[in-house]
A and B are shown apart, each in its own frame.
Chain A
Amino acid sequence: MPKTITEQNLHHLIDALLAEGVRVIGPKRADALTIYAPLANGEELDLDQLPRRSAKEAFFPPCETILSFEKRDGKITVSDPDLNRLPETVLIGVRPCDAVAPGILDAVFSWDYDDPFYLERRKRTTIIGIACTSADDACFCTAVGCSPDARKGSDLFLVPLQGGGFVVEAMDGKGSALKARYEALLATSGSAQPLPLAVPAVDSLDLEKIRTWLAGNFEHPLWQEIASRCAGCGACAFLCPACHCFDIVDEGGEAGGCRRKHWDACGFGKFTMHASAHNPRDVQPQRYRNRIMHKFKYYADKFNQTLCTGCGRCIRWCPVGIDIKAVLDEINKK
């Protein structure tokens, strides 16, 4: 029989995890926003809205120290952050469009060279996904192969029930272990029906057709039409669950400091600028083209996956109203 958990017991689960020293990250209210943040108690979990930023920062923080250095008596020593200090983490209340993304990013962060900062966090994190029951008109997960009840990426999956509570499904060993550990908080399923799933506005896209079109249309008036107005603010990349570009910069001075990875965005003008000031992606439409190409062609070519989960954040918060699903739809119709 399927197992269920009441909302109250889900809060108790969070409290129990916290009591054991596990870091629990989930959607929580921060003034007017909902964001993924470490929860102080179960009551803070707020599943009403899709958080403003994606859950990727649980694995790939906006800013992260990758080494520190110190110069003493003319001698430089370099030390690593102690990755063993990374806490065991449960990421809870993650909608499918966010839950699927870390698995997509595993490919690039382990491509020939394993990025220990990303992969150690992956190892130490259990993802509790939740079926999505509310879409807005920016949502398009179903168009890019995800769906409101996609289990992919979740170790444990919650399905909200009418009248409250959730069905609890273990998707893999990590999820089963967690489920077994807190068996006492679960009940055997009653007669409650699942809440209706969200219905994203856009129909499925032919991603293979889009990839083929992109392969043949590096030069096309479309790029100019859709992206001349791009402000190059990078919001789309920073909000995206799957954008992974980063910068590496030193902070501090010659006497000592640290080297960090910072989120970066291919929409920024200096992203590709050479020392000579030559810039292979000189104007905004070329940068936007790279964004689309990277997500729907290059990443697909290399890793057989699409670097987009249809969460719609880049549409919702673009200051100039660029709509990636409209762009894809237009390509799909060509």
Chain B
Amino acid sequence: MCIPDKNIYKPHLATIESIVDETPDVRTLRLVFQDEAVRENFAFRAGQFAEYSAFGSGESTFCIASAPTRGGYIECCFRAVGRVTEALRRLEVGETIGVRGPYGNSFPIEAFFGKNLVFVAGGIALPPLRTLIWQCLDWRDKFGDITIIYGARTESDLVYKHELAEWQQRSDVRLVRTVDPGGNGPEWDGQVGFVPTVLEQVAPSADNTIALVCGPPIMIKFTLPVLEKLGFTDNAIYTTLENRMKCGLGKCGRCNVGNVYVCKDGPVFTAAQVKAMPQEF
């Protein structure tokens, strides 16, 4: 007799329900679990991640990019850069992928009730915040002002373009889009400038406000001092670390930053927690 329920490495099977090409090399997959019980019971919190597999090629780690408030499916968003992500990209609607998770900690959303939120994201790092953004928008009356500052190298590199358009239309969200200098086409109607610079210009008030920052290490490095200048304390700033993982379960030994295991202690950390870590990320 097998003991399948004990195999912590065994993924659930999910069917690709739809595919959206966000940019020429970034793709969103919407996934529906094949097992009815899993479909009904799979629960996660914004910020958690999963291991997604293309059978025959292996597993990759991405956040769960859809919102916990949107049931019936989950989404992942990835750039095709390696063997597994290329294989995931070859899969078509109706085909099967494996999903293990959800793993890791999450954004303490309950602690954000009644506060203003400032989301700051760069490039392909919008997905880990997008899960939370939609949850907050679905629970809109629980929060104060919501500001989203999102930038990418070029217009083409902006992900979730349809949703950006939707957020721009909403009167209860302030969206500021920006592209790096030179990344703007003739039709571009957003800002031009690096995310930290634009953040400084937008200058959201730190009063009763939480900042949520996700982006490439260089963006984070220059964004944190700006937030500090605006009056945000390190405990009011949240980010996610995105280290390479294999097991996602605290065993395979590669995602640690000092004695902090990103897969178990993270991926969500406050700036205060990140600053207390050895500089190894």
Q: Which residues of A contact B (CB under 8 A)?
A: 66-67, 69, 71, 74-76, 78-80, 82-84, 108-109, 111-116, 218-219, 244-250, 252-257, 259, 261, 264, 266, 271-276, 278, 280-281, 286, 290, 293-294, 297-298, 301-302
Contacts and interface: CB of A to CB of B under 8 A. Distances in A.
A108 B3 contact: no
A272 B244 contact: yes
A179 to B, nearest CB: 30
A298 B258 contact: yes
A93 B253 CA distance: 30
A293 B277 CA distance: 13
A307 to B, nearest CB: 10
A264 B253 contact: yes
Contacts of B3: 80, 83-84, 116
Interface string B34-52: 0000000000000000000
B10 A266 contact: no
B217 A278 contact: yes
B182 interface: no
A113 B104 CA distance: 12
Given A75-B96, A76-B55, A116-B8, A246 B246 contact: yes
Sort chain B's interface into a size bin: 35 or more
A203 to B, nearest CB: 27
B251 A115 contact: yes
Contacts of B278: 218-219
A280 B257 contact: yes
Contacts of B82: 275
B79 interface: yes
A247 B8 contact: no
A281 B257 CA distance: 10
A271 B36 CA distance: 37
Contacts of A273: 244
B59 interface: yes
Contacts of A294: 253, 256
Interface of B: 1-4, 6-11, 13, 53-60, 79, 81-82, 85, 87, 94-96, 98, 216-217, 242-244, 246-247, 249-259, 264, 278-281
**Which of A69, A249, A257, A272 counts the most B-chain CB atoms under 10 A from its CB?**
A272
Contacts of A78: 10-11, 13, 55, 98
A114 B242 contact: no
A261 B98 CA distance: 17
- The 6 A-B residue pairs with the shortest CB-CB distance in the complex, in nearest-first order: A245-B253, A298-B259, A254-B56, A218-B278, A116-B6, A76-B96
7 contacts: A84-B3, A112-B264, A218-B258, A248-B246, A254-B87, A264-B253, A274-B243
B58 A248 contact: yes
Contacts of B95: 74
**Which of A71, A78, A244 counts the most B-chain CB atoms under 10 A from its CB?**
A78
A81 B4 CA distance: 9
A293 B56 contact: no
A82 B1 CA distance: 7
A274 B242 contact: yes
Given A80-B7, A255-B56, 10 more contacts: A67-B9, A75-B96, A113-B251, A116-B3, A248-B246, A248-B247, A248-B252, A249-B58, A261-B9, A301-B259
B243 A76 contact: no
Contacts of A69: 55-56
B279 to A, nearest CB: 8
A83 B1 CA distance: 9
Contacts of A218: 258, 278-280
Given A80-B2, A83-B3, A115 B244 contact: no
A250 B253 contact: no
B256 A298 contact: yes
Contacts of B249: 111-113, 115
A246 B245 CA distance: 10
A266 B79 CA distance: 26
A332 to B, nearest CB: 20
B259 A246 contact: no
A76 B14 CA distance: 10
A244 B253 contact: yes
Contacts of B257: 280
Nearest to A243: B253
